[in-house]
Every structure is written in C-alpha cells, then in structure tokens.
C-alpha cells in the first residue's frame, strides 16, 4: 500500500499469518489480530513483555474464546485489548473517511455482488477465493 506525502505506516513489519506464529516470530511490541479468537492465543505468544495485542477482527470465523484462561493464556506482562466498532458515531465515521482521503487510500475491491446474489457472495467468502473486499450492492427490486 502506498501512502501520499511521504507518510509511512507506523509498523516495522507486516506478517502474513500462515496459521502458526508460536516459535516462528518473537520480539513483537504490538500486534493487531484481525483473525480473531481462532488465532488469539498464538498471537499472544509472539508479543514480548510490555507489548500489546489488540484483537479486533473476526476473519477466522470463530467468535468466542471457549476454554480461554486469561491467567494461563496471556503471557506475563503482555496486555490484551480489543476494538469493537459496530456502533460508530458520525464523528468517528467522518474521521475514517478524512483519513482515507488525506492519505489517498484506495480499498482493494475483489468482487461486487448484487444483494440478490448474497448466497453466491457468502460462498465466495467461505471459499477464500476473492482477493480483496467483497462488496454487496442494493439496486432496486428484483423481478
């Protein structure tokens, strides 16, 4: 992703999670886990003492932490936080769009489906074959 005006992302490295971070990656000070509960324990093992893990995504299709023991599963000195945005304020939404405009960010659209083809869109999402965001449009009544 390119940033305008010479701005750079504030991450030293982006890692594509292939399913197992434990033992593969160490020395992380901050981690943004977009996969969710499915990978959270694994992500926590990559973060050093004093580091922070923010769990915000649910891309792994698992929505709860069954059997999660915070005393055992969060390493000593590691912080776990989360971010939930289902009820954003207008101010927050405006801030997001301002950031996108100011940094000239363009989302990667993988495929566009009509609302009436939602089943096909969900099947494509489950299959993982769409490279980018899946967009659903609503266009008039179906006849």
Q: So where are the chain's domains?
A: 4-82, 107-143
Rounded to 5 degrees, φ, ψ at 54 are -110, 115
pTM for the model: 0.57
CB-based burial, 108-136: b 16+ in 10 Å, e otherwise: eeeeebeeeeeeebeebbeeeebeeeeee
Mean pLDDT of the region 33-42: 88
Q: What is the pLDDT of residues 92-132, one digit of tens each?
A: 889 989 999 999 988 889 999 998 888 888 888 888 878 88
How many whole angstroms from its chain centre is CA 98?
Answer: 20
CA atoms of 24 and 1, how far apart (whole Å): 25
């Amino acid at each position: 992703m390119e940033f305008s005006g010479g701005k750079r992302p504030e991450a030293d490295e982006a890692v594509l999670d292939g399913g197992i971070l434990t033992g593969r990656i160490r020395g992380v000070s901050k981690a943004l886990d977009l996969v969710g509960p499915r990978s959270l324990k694994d992500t926590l093992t990559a973060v050093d003492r004093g580091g922070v893990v923010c769990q915000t995504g649910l891309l792994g299709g698992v929505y709860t932490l069954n059997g999660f023991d915070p005393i055992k599963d969060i390493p000593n000195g590691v912080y776990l936080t989360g971010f939930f945005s289902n009820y954003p304020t207008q101010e927050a939404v405006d801030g997001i769009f301002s950031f996108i405009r100011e940094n000239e960010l363009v989302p990667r659209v993988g495929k566009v489906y009509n609302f009436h083809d939602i089943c096909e869109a969900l099947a494509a999402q489950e299959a993982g074959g769409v490279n980018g965001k899946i967009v659903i449009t609503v266009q008039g009544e179906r006849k």
